[in-house]
Structure 1
Amino acid sequence: MTTRIETFRALHRGRLPGDPLVLPGPWDAASARVFAAAGFPALATPSAGVAAALGYEDGRTPADEMFAAVARIARSVDVPVSADLEGGYGLAPKELVERLLETGAVGCNLEDSEGGVLKDPRRHAEWLAEVRAAAGDRLFVNARIDTFLHGADDPDQAVGRAALYVAAGADCVYPILAPAGVLPLLRAGIEGPVNALARYGEGPSPAELGEAGATRVTFGPGLLHAASDAVRQAAARIRG
């Protein structure tokens, strides 16, 4: 029988241009069920979305509450779930891996900045290698690259970090906020899958991001924001 991690890995292989793996971002069990029922083959939680659902600012969710939220999401659906674990909450790699596996998730995002400052890429790669060693083949590791997020717009910096992270064992890299026009350059310089951020309701579309070089597309907290807008409109109608 194919396991969820095997299914998740397979979803990243053989993607054709214009047909990236699209991973909606559930923030709770109810939204996860909606996305799974819509036919998406896997999901990827956004830390900012989960934080908002739990009443925290982005980056302020206690580790225990984040893992508990991921567990509720993972057990509510029959499709693979990857979890945004921010910077790892200061946990040792082995503890981080074991706690994530306990939730039922099969993958994680791990970012390379802290407090708005980019981490030393070689030191971060060493940490990712420890995560990989602790996880073995049990987790799909998506290494987020925060250069574009923090104003370093040189694609070569992102490509250099990506090479280190892939060599350390990352299964995918995520140059968050990379402009669509830069994706072809990143695709040409990066070995393995590339994750791109789509903005719900705006361009480029997931298909266009795929044409530009994205293997998979995620939305961050964008779908939570869309749902909040719908609730806000409903509330206004009721009040009116």
Structure 2
Amino acid sequence: MTTTRFSALHDDSGGPLLLPNAWDHASAAALAGQGFTAIGTTSLGVAAAAGLPDGAAATREETLRLARGLGGGAFLLSVDAEGGFSDDPEEVAELARELAGAGVAGINLEDGRPDGTLTPAPVHTAKIAAVKAAVPDLFVNARTDTYWLPKTSADPEVEPERDPDPVTETRRRLDAYARAGADGVFVPGLSDPAAISALVAHLRPSGLPLNILYSPKGPTVPELAALGVRRVSLGSYLFREALGAAVTAALDVRAGGKGAAAWNVAAPTYDEVQRLRLGGTADVRLGGSADGAEI
């Protein structure tokens, strides 16, 4: 694995890399203003903001547009590229070249498909290998959805039927992705501490960092650190929280309440958000007025 600034953040000596995921310029800049040195994108947030479906290879241009606006800035950027928006390894490699040209440090490639099946492992490994051959310094985080998708069979012409045991299938796929050149591996949906610890032990000989998706119902970041996890992603969590808070505040105001002010949540001021729009990474202290006087 090529050592870069981004890959160095996965060094377990400093604890796990907590990667918050943004969906536009303002959310990324606000997070950077709070000291996050690396930020990911959320494919759900990018897709939903554009009125498009997630996981359906429908947001290639939106993803590239956001990457060009955020890449090469004050923070390191990792892009959630679904399955690379194609099953053609060369097309995925071309996407990687474009992302690297925009200053992106990492890419997340998933093996889940819109129909609820997993991409055959040889197809996904070919994508990983093509990306590493095209852009060796781009950190490839290879994601498997073995804990999320139904236990259906893969294409029998490409590989045998999947093992119904997610533990075995996960290890089989991650080992293949490692051999293809992945720099890290990601298993969303895995939250059982014992299973996480066992997978960390399985990956230890390869040196690959394990990425876990944070869940409010799962282990905390310190608990994940103790289990040996070296990267924790927030995924679409922040986007969904922001969307829920906005709708809840609007409903509260409509009902005669005080909106977010009633919950002692201080929104950024108009000027703070304006500074983000102007291209800075201003320190959004969440200490602004919530009474609407500055809009």
> Common fold, TM-score beyond 0.5?
yes
What are the residue-to-residue correspondences of 1:223-238 with 2, within 5 Å? 223-238=238-253
Over the matched positions of the two proteins, sequence identity in percent amounts to 37
Q: How many residues align?
A: 231
> For the residues of structure 2 that align with 1:109 and 1:31, how far apart are their CA atoms?
19
Matching residue of 2:106: 107
Shift of the alpha carbon at 1:127?
2.5
What secondary structure does 1:217 align onto?
strand
Matching residue of 2:209: 193
Shift of the alpha carbon at 1:43?
0.6
Contact 1:180 1:209 in 2 (8 A): no
For the pair 1:164 / 2:191, whether they are aligned, the reply is no
Matching residue of 2:284: none
Matching residue of 2:53: 57
Q: Normalization by structure 2: what TM-score?
A: 0.73
Matched residue type, 2:228: G
Structure 2 residue corresponding to 1:70, chosen from 37, 59, 67: 67
Q: Normalization by structure 1: what TM-score?
A: 0.89
What secondary structure does 1:109 align onto?
strand
Contact 1:180 1:212 in 2 (8 A): no
Contact 2:93 2:127 in 1 (8 A): no
- Flag structure 1 segments of 5+ consecutive residues without an equivalent: none
> For the residues of structure 2 that align with 1:186 and 1:135, how far apart are their CA atoms?
28
Shift of the alpha carbon at 1:100?
1.2
Higher helix share: 1
Contact 2:118 2:149 in 1 (8 A): yes
Name the structure, 1 or 2, with higher relative contact order (CA <8 Å, separation 6+). 1
Shift of the alpha carbon at 1:126?
2.5
Q: Which has the larger radius of gyration?
A: 2
Matched residue type, 2:229: A
Shift of the alpha carbon at 1:234?
2.2
More displaced, 81-90 or 179-188?
179-188
Shift of the alpha carbon at 1:102?
2.9
- Flag structure 2 segments of 5+ consecutive residues without an equivalent: 152-164, 257-295
Contact 2:144 2:173 in 1 (8 A): yes
